[in-house]
Amino acid sequence: MPEPAVTLSGGVVVSSTRREEVSSRIRRALLTGELRPGQRIKEVHLAEALGVSRPTLRESLQQLVHEGALVQVPYKGIHVAQPTAEELRDVAEVRMPLETMAALRLARDPHGPAMDGVREALAVHLAAIGTGDALQAHVTHIGLHKAIWDLADSPTLRKIWPLVGSQVHVALTVDQAVRHDPERDALLHRRLVRVIEEGDEAAITAEVEEHIRRSVDEVLRRLT
């Protein structure tokens, strides 16, 4: 089967932030399905599509491998990450208790600077959703969940995020690619933050679990 065309619109990259610009355009291609899960990255074709040199492309590809969006397979090159159903469920099972812990810690001071930071991250995410830019919505979606972890005032959670964050990134990329529903996205994240603000421990625990589990269940239904 021939490889699908990857348009990656935006013209030749000429800015001083070339690597990040290339990385952003590849992320957009992942979210729109131009680059499919499991697909092998062909450097020559991709460099031509992006209008960049292969060394520049390789730097961006390695950045995305580090993030978990791409995987480097020994002797087979770089491929788009293709998490299995079991892996997606595993990520959800790991996230639920840790994100619940973060949310409960934030709820101790609903009017404090930490919750202000979470509200700000929510506002940034909602603004990105409003622009209709899928890539910005994806980036701010991850940013909101990272803010919940970072602002919970737990050194342990901050240390764990880099380990879990790459897998969360992949899971949310799959979610965005198969289920693009901005209104639902906004509704769910407003509700998540509101429940944390209200401070009821049982409600927070249930909401975080529902938020994460429902997302992975819907993704798996669409993938099967």
Q: What CATH number is attached to the domain comprising 188?
A: 1.20.120.530
Do 223 and 85 form a contact (C-beta atoms < 8 A)?
yes
| Mean per-residue pLDDT over the chain, rounded | 86
For residue 109, give both structure tokens. Answer: 């001071």
Q: What is the pLDDT of residue 197?
A: 97
Residue 101 is assigned to a structural domain of this protein: yes
Residue 184 is assigned to a structural domain of this protein: yes
Q: What is the pLDDT of residue 1?
A: 38
Give yes or no: residues 185 and 124 share one domain. Answer: yes
Residue 3 has pLDDT above 50, yes or no: no
Residue 47 has pLDDT above 60, yes or no: yes
Q: What is the pLDDT of residue 27?
A: 86
Q: What is the pLDDT of residue 18?
A: 81
Give yes or no: residues 28 and 103 share one domain. Answer: no
| H runs (alpha helix) in the chain | 18-32, 43-50, 54-67, 85-107, 113-131, 134-150, 155-178, 182-198, 201-223
Residue 8 is assigned to a structural domain of this protein: no
| 3-state per-residue secondary structure call for 125-173 | HHHHHHHCCHHHHHHHHHHHHHHHHHCCCCHHHHHHHHHHHHHHHHHHH
Q: What is the pLDDT of residue 77?
A: 93
What is the per-residue pLDDT across 161-184, written as a single tens digit (0 to 9) for each?
988 887 787 777 777 766 678 898
Q: What is the pLDDT of residue 8?
A: 53
Give yes or no: residues 138 and 218 share one domain. Answer: yes
Give yes or no: residues 36 and 100 share one domain. Answer: no
Give yes or no: residues 140 and 48 share one domain. Answer: no
Give yes or no: residues 104 and 123 share one domain. Answer: yes
* Domain interval for residue 190: 85-223
Give yes or no: residues 30 and 102 share one domain. Answer: no
For residue 183, give both structure tokens. Answer: 């209104």
Q: What are phi and psi of 10, to 5 degrees?
A: 140, -5
Give yes or no: residues 75 and 152 share one domain. Answer: no
Residue 12 has pLDDT above 80, yes or no: no
Highest mean pLDDT among 81-85, 121-125, 179-183 belongs to: 121-125
DSSP state of 2: P
Of the residues 80, 106, 132, the one at which a domain ends: 80
Residue 6 is assigned to a structural domain of this protein: no
Do 7 and 34 form a contact (C-beta atoms < 8 A)?
yes
Of the residues 61, 80, 99, the one at which a domain ends: 80
Q: What is the pLDDT of residue 224?
A: 64
pLDDT band at 156 (very low <50, low <70, confident <90, very high): very high
- For residues 35-60, give the mean pLDDT: 89
Give yes or no: residues 154 and 126 share one domain. Answer: yes
Lowest-confidence pick of 12-16, 41-45, 112-116: 12-16
Residue 3 is assigned to a structural domain of this protein: no
Residue 110 is assigned to a structural domain of this protein: yes
Give yes or no: residues 219 and 124 share one domain. Answer: yes
Q: What is the pLDDT of residue 14?
A: 42
Give yes or no: residues 132 and 196 share one domain. Answer: yes
- Total number of domains in the chain: 2
Of the residues 30, 53, 80, the one at which a domain ends: 80
Residue 128 is assigned to a structural domain of this protein: yes
Q: What is the pLDDT of residue 127?
A: 97
Lowest-confidence pick of 29-38, 76-85, 149-158, 197-206: 29-38
Residue 29 is assigned to a structural domain of this protein: yes
CATH number of 54's domain? 1.10.10.10
Give yes or no: residues 197 and 89 share one domain. Answer: yes
What is the per-residue pLDDT across 171-223, written as a single tens digit (0 to 9) for each?
777 777 666 788 989 999 999 999 999 999 999 999 999 999 988 887 787 76
